[in-house]
Structure 1
Amino acid sequence: MVIRTLLLITIFSPLLAHSIDPAFNDDVLGLIVFKSGLVDPGSKLASWVEDDESPCSWQGVKCDPQAHRVTELALDGLSLSGHVGRGLLRLQSLQVLSMSNNNLSSTILPDLTRLRALQVIDLSGNNLTGPIPKELFQQCGSLRSVSFANNGLTGRIPESLISCQTLVAVNFSLNLLLGELPMGIWNLRGLQSIDLSDNMLEGVIPEGIQSLYDLRTLNLRGNQFTGWIPKDLGGCLSLNSLDLSNNFLLGSLPESMRRLISCSSIRLGGNSLTGEVPSWMGELRSLESLDLSRNRFLGRIPKTMGNLHLLRELNLSTNHFTGILPGSISNCIDLSILDVSHNMLTGDFPIRPFRSDSAVAAAAATSTASYRNLKVLDVSSNAFSGEFPQDIGTLSSLQSLNLSRNSIYGSIPRSIGDLNRTQFLDLSNNRLNGMIPPEIGGAVSLEGLRLEKNLLSGKIPTEIESCSSLTSLILSDNNLTGPIPLVLSKLTGLQYVDLSSNHLYGNLPKELANLSHLLYFNISHNNLEGELPVGGFFNMIPPSSVSGNSALCGSVMNDSCPSVHPKPIVLNPNSSSGSGGGSASPDRHHKRIILSISALIAIGAAAFIAIGVVAVTVLNIRVRSSMSRPDLPLTFSSGGVEDFSCSPSAKGATNYGKLVMFSGDARFIAGAQALLNKESEIGRGGFGVVYRTVLQHGRPVAIKKLTCSGLIKSQEDFEREVKTLGKIRHQNIVSLEGYYWEPSVQLLIYEYVPGGSLHRHIHDASADNCLTWRQRFNIILGMARGLAHLHRMNVIHYNLKSTNIILDASGDPRVGDFGLARLLPELDRCVLSSKIQSALGYMAPEFACRSVKITEKCDVYGLGILVLEVVTGKRPVEYMEDDVAVLCEVVRSALDEGRVEECVDGRLRDNFPVEEVIPVVKLGLICASQVPSNRPDMREVVNILELIECPSEGLES
Structure 2
Amino acid sequence: MSTSLLLFFSSLLFSPLLTHSTNPSAINDDVLGLIVFKADIVDPYSKLSSWNEDDPSACNWDFIQCDPRSNRVTRLALSGLSLSGKLGRGLLQLESLQNLDLSKNNFSGPLNPDLLRLKDLESLDLSQNGFTGSIPDSYFEQCRSIRYINLASNMIFGEMPKNVGSCPTLAELDLSGNRLSGSLPSGIWALNALRNLDLSDNELIGDIPAGISRMFNLRSISLRGNKLTGKLPEDIGECLLLKSLDLTGNSISGELPVSLKKLSTCTFLSLRSNSFSGEVPTWVGEMKGLETLDLSWNKFSGEIPSSIGNLNSLKVLKLSGNGFTGSVPESISGCTNLQEVDFSWNSLTGNLPSWIFKLGLQRISFSDNVLSGAMPVPESVNPSVQVLDLSSNSLSGWIPAEISNLQGLQFLNLSWNSFSGSVPMSCGQLKLLEVLDFTGCGLNGTIPAEIKGAISLKELRLGQNSLTGEILTQIGNCSSLTFLDLSQNNLTGPIPAALSNLTNLSTVNLSQNKLSGSIPKQLSNLPRLLSFNVSHNLLSGDIPSGTFFDSIPSSSLSDNPGLCGALVKKSCPAVLPKPIVLNPNSSNPLVEPSPNNPTSFHHKRIILSISTLIAIAAAATIAIGVITVTVLNLRVRESGARSTAVLELSDGYLSQSPTTDMNSGKVVMFDGSDPEFIAGNHAVANKDCELGRGGFGSVYKATLIDGQPVAIKKLTVSSLVKSQEDFEREVKLLGKLKHRNLVAMRGYYWTPSLQLLIYDYISGGNLYKHLHESSETSALSWKERFDIILGIARSLAHLHRHGVIHYNLKSSNVLLDSSGEAKVGDYGLAKLLPMLDRYVLSSKIQSALGYMAPEFACRAVKITDKCDVYGFGILVLEILTGKRPVEYLEDDVVVLCDLVRTALDEGRVEECIDERLCGKFPIEEAVPVVKLGLVCISQVPSNRPDMGEVVNILELIRCPQDSPEGEIS
TM bin, normalised by shorter chain, reads: 0.5 to 0.7
1:884 aligned partner: none
2:369 aligned partner: 382
Pairing partner for 2:615 from 586, 594, 597:
594
1:16 aligned partner: 14
Structure 2 residue identity aligned to 1:33:
V
Q: CA, structure 1 residues 493+77, in 2 after alignment: closer, same or farther (shift >3 Å)?
A: same
1:214 aligned partner: 217
Pairing partner for 2:482 from 480, 495, 500:
495
SS in 2 for 1:500: coil
Pairing partner for 2:769 from 746, 750, 759:
759
- Cα separation, 2, equivalents of 1:863 and 1:501: 28
Asked if the contact 2:471/2:496 (under 8 Å) is kept, the reply is yes
2:320 aligned partner: 317
SS in 2 for 1:344: coil
2:285 aligned partner: 282
C-alpha displacement of 1:312: 0.7
2:359 aligned partner: 371
* TM-score, structure 2 as length reference: 0.66
Q: CA, structure 1 residues 909+593, in 2 after alignment: closer, same or farther (shift >3 Å)?
A: closer
SS in 2 for 1:290: strand
C-alpha displacement of 1:917: 7.6
2:677 aligned partner: 646
Structure 2 residue identity aligned to 1:37:
D
C-alpha displacement of 1:170: 0.5
Pairing 1:816–2:819 present: no
Asked if the contact 1:532/1:538 (under 8 Å) is kept, the reply is no
- Cα separation, 2, equivalents of 1:346 and 1:613: 72
**Residue correspondence of structure 1 range 540-559 to structure 2 within 5 A:** 545-550=533-538, 553-555=541-543, 556=557, 557-559=560-562
Give deviations 1:697-747, integer Å, cap 9, x for gaps.
Answer: xxxxxxx955489x9xxxx9999768732369xxxxx3579999xxxxxx9
1:661 aligned partner: none
1:59 aligned partner: 62
Give deviations 1:325-346, integer Å, cap 9, x for gaps.
Answer: 1111111111111000000001
C-alpha displacement of 1:482: 2.7
Asked if the contact 2:419/2:443 (under 8 Å) is kept, the reply is yes
Pairing 1:531–2:539 present: no
- Cα separation, 2, equivalents of 1:236 and 1:918: 46
C-alpha displacement of 1:596: 6.3
**Residue correspondence of structure 1 range 397-408 to structure 2 within 5 A:** 397-408=384-395
SS in 2 for 1:228: coil
Q: CA, structure 1 residues 225+821, in 2 after alignment: closer, same or farther (shift >3 Å)?
A: same
1:456 aligned partner: 443
Structure 2 residue identity aligned to 1:493:
S
Asked if the contact 1:519/1:537 (under 8 Å) is kept, the reply is no
Give deviations 1:263-299, integer Å, cap 9, x for gaps.
Answer: 1101111112111111111110000001111111111
SS in 1 for 2:420: strand
Pairing partner for 1:308 from 306, 311, 315:
311
Pairing partner for 2:254 from 244, 247, 251:
251
SS in 2 for 1:417: helix
Q: CA, structure 1 residues 310+600, in 2 after alignment: closer, same or farther (shift >3 Å)?
A: farther
- Cα separation, 2, equivalents of 1:554 and 1:189: 80
- Cα separation, 2, equivalents of 1:398 and 1:176: 40
C-alpha displacement of 1:542: 11
Asked if the contact 2:97/2:118 (under 8 Å) is kept, the reply is yes
1:477 aligned partner: 464
Gaps of 5+ in 1: 353-366, 573-578, 627-639, 650-684, 691-703, 729-733, 741-746, 827-845, 869-903, 921-940, 947-955
Asked if the contact 2:254/2:275 (under 8 Å) is kept, the reply is yes
SS in 1 for 2:443: strand
Give deviations 1:467-503, integer Å, cap 9, x for gaps.
Answer: 2222211112223233211121222332221112333
C-alpha displacement of 1:23: 2.5
Gaps of 5+ in 2: 544-556, 565-571, 583-588, 592-602, 648-670, 681-698, 715-727, 748-757, 852-882, 900-935, 942-967
C-alpha displacement of 1:193: 1.0
C-alpha displacement of 1:215: 0.8
Asked if the contact 2:702/2:709 (under 8 Å) is kept, the reply is yes
Give deviations 1:34-62, integer Å, cap 9, x for gaps.
Answer: 23334334444344333433333332322
SS in 2 for 1:536: helix
Pairing partner for 2:113 from 89, 110, 115:
110
SS in 1 for 2:317: strand
- Cα separation, 1, equivalents of 2:634 and 2:271: 57
- Cα separation, 2, equivalents of 1:258 and 1:57: 54
- Cα separation, 2, equivalents of 1:281 and 1:918: 38
Pairing 1:725–2:737 present: yes
Give deviations 1:212-239, integer Å, cap 9, x for gaps.
Answer: 1111111011111122212221121111
Q: CA, structure 1 residues 439+503, in 2 after alignment: closer, same or farther (shift >3 Å)?
A: same
2:78 aligned partner: 75
- Cα separation, 2, equivalents of 1:502 and 1:233: 57
Q: CA, structure 1 residues 43+807, in 2 after alignment: closer, same or farther (shift >3 Å)?
A: closer
SS in 2 for 1:304: helix
1:357 aligned partner: none
Pairing partner for 2:124 from 100, 118, 121:
121
- Cα separation, 2, equivalents of 1:90 and 1:514: 68
Structure 2 residue identity aligned to 1:533:
P
- Cα separation, 1, equivalents of 2:452 and 2:36: 66
SS in 2 for 1:439: helix
Aligned length: 752
C-alpha displacement of 1:821: 9.3
- Cα separation, 1, equivalents of 2:531 and 2:150: 60
The percentage of aligned residue pairs carrying the same residue is 36
Moved more, 120-129 or 492-501: 492-501
C-alpha displacement of 1:196: 0.7
- Cα separation, 2, equivalents of 1:785 and 1:617: 46
1:143 aligned partner: 146
- Cα separation, 2, equivalents of 1:151 and 1:317: 33
Pairing 1:131–2:158 present: no
SS in 1 for 2:283: helix
Pairing 1:511–2:498 present: yes
Pairing partner for 2:35 from 29, 32, 35:
32
C-alpha displacement of 1:173: 0.6
- Cα separation, 2, equivalents of 1:614 and 1:273: 68
- Cα separation, 1, equivalents of 2:809 and 2:359: 50
- Cα separation, 2, equivalents of 1:779 and 1:601: 52
* TM-score, structure 1 as length reference: 0.67
Q: CA, structure 1 residues 786+96, in 2 after alignment: closer, same or farther (shift >3 Å)?
A: closer
Pairing 1:438–2:425 present: yes
2:873 aligned partner: none
- Cα separation, 1, equivalents of 2:672 and 2:271: 47
- Cα separation, 2, equivalents of 1:17 and 1:42: 32
- Cα separation, 2, equivalents of 1:270 and 1:141: 39
Q: CA RMSD in A?
A: 5.6
- Cα separation, 2, equivalents of 1:322 and 1:434: 30
2:904 aligned partner: none
Structure 1 residue identity aligned to 2:677:
C
Asked if the contact 1:797/1:817 (under 8 Å) is kept, the reply is no
Q: CA, structure 1 residues 789+532, in 2 after alignment: closer, same or farther (shift >3 Å)?
A: farther
- Cα separation, 1, equivalents of 2:579 and 2:435: 47
C-alpha displacement of 1:147: 0.3
Pairing 1:163–2:173 present: no
Structure 2 residue identity aligned to 1:300:
E
C-alpha displacement of 1:107: 2.7
SS in 2 for 1:154: strand
Asked if the contact 1:785/1:942 (under 8 Å) is kept, the reply is no
Asked if the contact 1:388/1:410 (under 8 Å) is kept, the reply is yes
Asked if the contact 1:569/1:595 (under 8 Å) is kept, the reply is no
Pairing 1:916–2:916 present: no
SS in 2 for 1:725: coil
C-alpha displacement of 1:801: 7.9
SS in 2 for 1:298: strand
SS in 2 for 1:28: helix
Structure 2 residue identity aligned to 1:546:
V
